[in-house]
Structure 1
């Protein structure tokens, strides 16, 4: 197993940790007239449309 030869400096550790940040999920408008915001590549929970087509029989 690889073992680091030297201790990682405090500056390098903090710089590496500062690059990680939580982001809110990306939302896209649904194709229905209400334009509800949904996750990309998912069917709309309200109307069931995916890429402008119904995914469930109505």
Structure 2
């Protein structure tokens, strides 16, 4: 049998609980690539030069 609440949650109490996460959005952070200077996400391969922690990981096509 699943857990069942003992009492009904009032509108005010439920709205108060939900109101805390209303305006929050995940913050996108960026770091500067030491090789090319492009903005990249932390712990990801640089999309412009293909380096990760100083090693060539992805071959980037030149256009």
Task: Tell me the TM-score range normalised by the shorter chain.
Answer: 0.5 to 0.7
Larger relative contact order, structure 1 or 2 (CA cutoff 8 Å, min sep 6): 1
Q: 1:9: how far off?
A: 3.0
Q: In structure 2, what is the equivalent of residue 45 of structure 1?
A: 47
Q: Which runs of 5+ in 1 are unaligned?
A: none
Q: Take 2:40 and 2:12, find their aligned partners in 1: how far apart are those partners? A: 40
Alignment length (residue pairs): 57
1:24 aligns to what?
Answer: 27
CA RMSD of aligned residues (A): 2.1
TM normalised by structure 2 equals 0.64
